[in-house]
Structure 1
Amino acid sequence: MPHADDSCALAPTAPASPDRRDFMRGAVGVGFAAAVLPTLAQTAIHTPPDGLVAGELRVNAGADTIPAYRARPAAGAGWPVVLVVSEIFGVHEHIADLCRRLARAGYYAIAPELFVRQGDAKAEQAIPDLIRNVVAKKSDAETLADLDATVATAAADGGDTGRLAITGFCWGGRVVWMYAAHSKRLKAGVAWYGKLVAGFNPALQPRNPVDVAARLNAPVLGLYGGKDDSIPLDGIERMKAELAKGTPASRGSSFVVYPQAGHAFNADYRPSYVADAAQDGWKRMLDWFKANGV
């Protein structure tokens, strides 16, 4: 059973070209990253698109156009919006499926391909190479700006961004905390096993969740694994202490730690998957959104 209460940089990015760049390296939401193959087909969840509008659209992000995967109910209008921030592997089939699951729960879910300027996250053969060649080159400043642009796209596409939430996994879990300190429009966040006290590149990610914990604009629910060697429990305790010093949203944040789960316990296509923890976390996420007006 889980026990409750429990990785806003200002670094510059490379200048864009004078013309709007269109980064379409491949279809988003299709296939899996080479670095995690082979996947576990017997546990991977496949949510059909029946009754949904689901697929790729483009986000105008500054001088660039980046791809995103979006899913929403086919009927109705004005759906609350959930930003879905991927793992280091980019917007692959699992992330698209998570968007469809959220759409089936009544949300407009959108996952931007945030690494597309840096390279093809799905093509790298090994995780260390993926981190070095792609992930470590992405600045927090650019990430936050891209998410703001994604919110604007969702609003133009019929989403109700007055009811805005964010969720993310691994790399994206860290981003959830950072975005909660950045966006004044956000109502709620849910971070799945995101780093708390360290990033991937100090030059481009000079601050981390523990540094911004006291100034959150929206409460965040952190879902973590008790056996996650990459995120020690003492880091969670440090984060709790910082949250307790902060804004009402910071003090309203919470943790759930699943003692028998490790990292990536929601990744149903990988050996790390822990079904009980993943299912409980998903329910808690939806309850958290509703409790905070999303």
Structure 2
Amino acid sequence: MTLEIDTGTGLMPVHIWEPTSGTGPGILLLQEIFGVSDYIQQRAFDLAALGYYVLAPEIYWRLDDTELDESAPDLLERAVAVVSRVDWDLAVSDSVAALEYLRGRDEGVGIVGFCFGGGLGYNVAAVSQPDVLVSYYGSALPRLLDLQVDAPSLHHFGDADVYLGDDLERIIKAIDTPDNEIYRYPGADHAFDNPLPAFHHADASALAWQRTTEFLSRHLPTDRGPR
């Protein structure tokens, strides 16, 4: 299902996946640089199957010429060019608007983000106080570490993350608090959960998803009902 949310400066398209029960805590699912791709849609389906009401906003909605062919050999290059045109502050405020839409359902809200969305989710969590945050290898984290996230948070990183590189140790030191869980995956590079062969690390992906579902079940249980 697709609908539009009023951001205050325009209507942003968002995609919705409802749990079988029709009710459940909300998850704001934030995309990688490839947009709301087949992969992100699959993760949305996976979360809905767990009992969550999932909303994935089209973060690129303010831009033109953003169509990405996931089979194209220049996919990564083109995606980097698209994301470089994103206004970060607007992306944050748009995501907050999406979170507030979920919060209006009064069933609890969490954020799950991947890569670009992992960093964006961290920023959104710092300014909007969700119940829980799950961030996969947030690409913007090195410049966001002065922000404070109070929500219980789960962070996944590949030990061989070339993109984060030397910043990885600094990130982990900054976010290592008693309420957070941080996991590193030997041999896994950046974007290891993405099923495209160029990125995927099967063992890391499976284990990280198991930890994600367990973390969400503890901090945002699907059977807690309206608050």
TM-score with structure 2 length normalisation? 0.86
Residue of structure 1 aligned with 2:163, choices 215, 230, 237: 230
2:57 counterpart of 1:112: yes
Alignment of 1:63-212 (within 5 A): 63-77=9-23, 79-123=24-68, 126-132=75-81, 134-155=82-103, 159-160=105-106, 162-184=107-129, 186-198=130-142, 208-212=143-147
- 1:242 alignment partner in structure 2: 174
1:266·1:273 contact (CA, 8 Å) conserved in 2? yes
TM-score with structure 1 length normalisation? 0.67
In the alignment, the residues of structure 2 paired with residue 120 and residue 69 of structure 1 have an alpha-carbon distance, to the nearest angstrom, of 20
Q: How far apart are residue 76 of structure 1 and its match? A: 4.2
Which protein shows a greater Rg? 1
Q: Give unpaired runs (5+ residues) of structure 2.
A: 222-227
1:115-153: CA deviation from partner (whole Å, max 9, x where unpaired): 111234334755334323x31222232122111221233
2:161 counterpart of 1:216: no
In the alignment, the residues of structure 2 paired with residue 98 and residue 120 of structure 1 have an alpha-carbon distance, to the nearest angstrom, of 25
Q: How far apart are residue 243 of structure 1 and its match? A: 3.0
Letter of the aligned partner of 1:285 in structure 2? T
Q: SS at the partner of 1:90?
A: coil
Alignment of 1:43-82 (within 5 A): 55-77=1-23, 79-82=24-27
In the alignment, the residues of structure 2 paired with residue 94 and residue 170 of structure 1 have an alpha-carbon distance, to the nearest angstrom, of 13
Q: 1:145 to 1:105 in 2, by over 3 A?
A: same
Q: 1:76 to 1:114 in 2, by over 3 A?
A: closer
1:229-278: CA deviation from partner (whole Å, max 9, x where unpaired): 1112x42321233235xxxxx54223111102112111113432122211
Q: How far apart are residue 99 of structure 1 and its match? A: 0.7
The number of aligned residues is: 217
Q: CA RMSD in A?
A: 2.1
Q: SS at the partner of 2:108?
A: strand
Letter of the aligned partner of 1:262 in structure 2? D
Q: Give unpaired runs (5+ residues) of structure 1.
A: 1-54, 199-207, 245-249
Letter of the aligned partner of 2:135 in structure 1? A
In the alignment, the residues of structure 1 paired with residue 68 and residue 211 of structure 2 have an alpha-carbon distance, to the nearest angstrom, of 33
2:219 counterpart of 1:292: yes
Q: SS at the partner of 1:286?
A: helix
In the alignment, the residues of structure 2 paired with residue 120 and residue 106 of structure 1 have an alpha-carbon distance, to the nearest angstrom, of 35
Q: How far apart are residue 196 of structure 1 and its match? A: 4.9
1:59·1:68 contact (CA, 8 Å) conserved in 2? yes
Q: 1:76 to 1:69 in 2, by over 3 A?
A: closer
Q: How far apart are residue 168 of structure 1 and its match? A: 1.0
Aligned sequence identity (%)? 28
Q: Which structure's relative contact order is higher, taking Cα pairs within 8 Å and 6+ residues apart?
A: 1
